[in-house]
Amino acid sequence: MPLHEGDHRGRPYKHMLNSKIPPGPMDQKWSSHKAHIKLVNPANKRKYTVIVVGTGLAGASAAASLSELGYAVKVFCVQDSPRRAHSIAAQGGINAAKNYPNDNDSIYRLFYDTLKGGDFRAREANVYRLADVSNTIIDQCVAQGVPFAREYSGYLDNRSFGGAQVSRTFYARGQTGQQLLLGAYGALMKEVHRGNIKLCPRTEMLDLVVVNGVAKGIVTRNLLTGDVESHAADAVVLATGGYATVFYLSTNAKACNVTAIWRAHKRGAFFANPCYTQIHPTCIPVHGDYQSKLTLMSESLRNDGRVWVPKKKGDSRKPSDIPEDERDYFLERKYPNFGNLVPRDIASRNAKDICDQGRGVTSTGQAVYLDLADAIGRLGKKTIEERYGNLLQMYEKIMGENPCETPMKIYPAPHYAMGGLWVDYNLMSNMPGLFVIGEANFSDHGANRLGASALMQGLADGYFVLPATIGDYLAQAGFGKSSTDAQEFKDAEEEAKYITHKLLSVKGGRTVDDFHRELGKLCWDKCGMARNRSGLSEALRKIPVIREEFWKNVNVPGFGEDLNQSLEKAGRVADFLEFAELLITDALHREESCGGHFREEYQTPEGEAKRDDEKFSYVAAWEFKGVGEPPVLHKEELTFENVKPAQRSYK
């Protein structure tokens, strides 16, 4: 494919990507598209095999829906049960434009808030579709028996989340992800027991198998026996979540990783906007050098909690001893229209700035207060405990303080990845036959995800979008053409076995966690909440050095023929050591600030993110050219037919 002359910095890039957005008015694109795409005859659906990797909300809902349609489905997850997928950890809620509180919400308003929240760096048509199907998601989940919170009258209750001035978030106390996942899990297991789904737990995807440029299956490792096996299919669906654990310390489960999408990327799938990472503003602060992960405190707490710090630097008094006029409610002061419910990127950066000024609390100075006292005085302790019971218990167990009596101490932490594999409007990557859904793709959140939108996207993709669009591909691809007899499967198996053998053979002097911690700290320091050219360039020089030492000095004990969690982690960290280079490259390339990508060189006089729409209003989709080799940039121009991008303001 011929190259253009290059982007504004001289980096070569190939032709613009085709996102296959259907024509027509925005509010009719999805319904019109569904009405015109090809279908698979019901009797033929059983002849097609679809692989789904991952059993979180996106994966479980997709697998159940595809099976109910009649396709033969194989499902893989690394957990011992699909119920343990990381979606279970989501706390606060799921958005939908039902307008039950009668506060003037609408599909358009949800669409606009999501697009604006992402700093106008998302594909407009995808965001509208997400808002459009949001209401159907709630109907689906209620029909499954998901126990959403209800008002005294019995109607479904709503609460507010950041970046919106309406209450549109449906919730189940602080356990919304768990309850939604149990609903999807029930649908999944119904199909397993019917014999339509083959479930393979404790199985990790090690490679994507590509035959003549088309995704035709995967290679896996049984985590209990070490067996490496091939699985053929007519289409592969990746629903493996995000990559925030590249920072080592994050709110994600320790098992969360980039491996599946990274190895698909190495086989030819483009990786879009990897520098768009989300730092969640309300997490329990870091407590020591050897902490293994961080704990999320739901954004929903900002409904009733007020964020503040002492006005005076170095004020070490107990919060109860600091009078009201000596407190700085800095989010309410700076953003009076939204107050404590500004989007996550803004809340996180402001907390960091306050702490950098020396006004942070705790012995480290790396925390701010989240105070429920006003809400308790207004509504009563019983009401607050009913709304946030498990969150308050979790905080007290970890911190040893009752948050109803003493303000919570919080600080931002890595939480979510807006970047992911590039997909078109049909959720198919640039590689035919490879579909990517949920957090594993890039499509809906732009440069910053609004709270309660991750669950919305995962279930929209799995229940309603993919089941409609995958048939269009399969109807044209034909069936019965996939077999593990192809040489590509044998080659992929051998490569996977070689990597395992190589990791076990090093016998060096440093643990896998030691390397992961070093890489994570480098990424956090140089590519976390604030970034600049100097720091990013330094990280880009250091990552190859860490990677080289990893392959010379890592120590992976045990064997490859049985359960070996050190080996599992080693493979994932090896991928992070490659992926981190792309993360930094993308952040260095994007010479603007937008959403969670904050370049210190590009900010307004008030310290807000300053976009450059003339040069960077596009999706950056990167093509892998080899470890340590510069990736090739592909672009998808972002066009806005219904919304005019403007400088975000929440003041």
Q: DSSP secondary structure string, 67-109?
A: HHHT-EEEEE-SSSSGGGSGGGG--S-EE----TT-SS--HHH
Predicted structure pTM score: 0.96
Please state, in angstroms and as integers, the Cα–Cα distance from residue 547 to each residue in 512, 515, 558, 571, following that order: 12, 9, 22, 12
Query: SS3 for 101-130, per residue?
Result: CCCCCCHHHHHHHHHHHCCCCCCHHHHHHH
- Amino acid at the residue 410: I
Where along the chain do the CATH 3.50.50.60 domains lie? 37-210+427-477
User: Using an 8 Å Cβ cutoff, are 545 and 487 in contact?
Assistant: no
Identify the residue whose tokens are 């499509």: 443
pLDDT of residue 176: 97
CA 352 to CA 311: how far, in whole Å? 15
Own/partner long-range contacts of 285-289 (Cβ < 8 Å, ≥24 apart): 285/362, 285/364, 285/366, 285/367, 285/409, 285/410, 285/411, 286/249, 286/364, 286/366, 286/411, 286/413
User: Using an 8 Å Cβ cutoff, are 489 and 217 in contact?
Assistant: yes
Give me 269's structure tokens.
């799938």
344 belongs to the catalytic site: yes
What 3-state DSSP class applies to 578? Answer: helix
Identify the residue whose tokens are 């290059």: 6
pLDDT of residue 15: 62
Q: Read off φ and ψ for residue 14, nearest 5 degrees.
A: -90, -175
- Strand ordering across the sheet containing 277-283: 277-283, 408-417, 368-371, 306-310, 327-328
- Amino acid at the residue 570: A
Identify the residue whose tokens are 């470890």: 627
Torsion angle defined by CA atoms of residues 120, 125, 131 and 135, in that order, rounded to the nearest 10 degrees: -170
CA 429 to CA 434: how far, in whole Å? 6
Give me 254's structure tokens.
């320790």
CATH of 281-412, one of 3.10.450.50, 3.90.700.10, 3.40.50.300, 3.30.1300.30: 3.90.700.10
CA 354 to CA 313: how far, in whole Å? 10
CA 633 to CA 422: how far, in whole Å? 12
- Which CATH fold would you assign to the domain 37-210+427-477? FAD/NAD(P)-binding domain (3.50.50)
Q: Are strands 434-436 and 420-421 parallel, antiparallel or unpaired?
A: unpaired
Candidate list 344, 449, 531, 611, residue with the active-site label: 344
pLDDT of residue 3: 32
- C-beta atoms surrounding 555 within 10 Å: 16
- Tell me the CATH number for domain 487-637: 1.20.58.100
Q: Are strands 368-371 and 408-417 parallel, antiparallel or unpaired?
A: antiparallel
Give me 275's structure tokens.
């520098």
What 3-state DSSP class applies to 221? Answer: strand
pLDDT of residue 591: 98
User: Using an 8 Å Cβ cutoff, are 417 and 244 in contact?
Assistant: yes
Where along the chain do the CATH 1.20.58.100 domains lie? 487-637
User: Using an 8 Å Cβ cutoff, are 89 and 297 in contact?
Assistant: no
User: Using an 8 Å Cβ cutoff, are 257 and 568 in contact?
Assistant: no
CA 237 to CA 158: how far, in whole Å? 33
Per-residue pLDDT of 515-546, as tens digits, reads 999 999 999 999 999 999 999 999 999 999 99
- Amino acid at the residue 305: G
**Residues lower than pLDDT 70 in the chain:** 1-15
- Strand ordering across the sheet containing 197-200: 197-200, 72-76, 49-53, 235-238, 434-436
Q: CA-based diameter of the chain, in Å?
A: 74
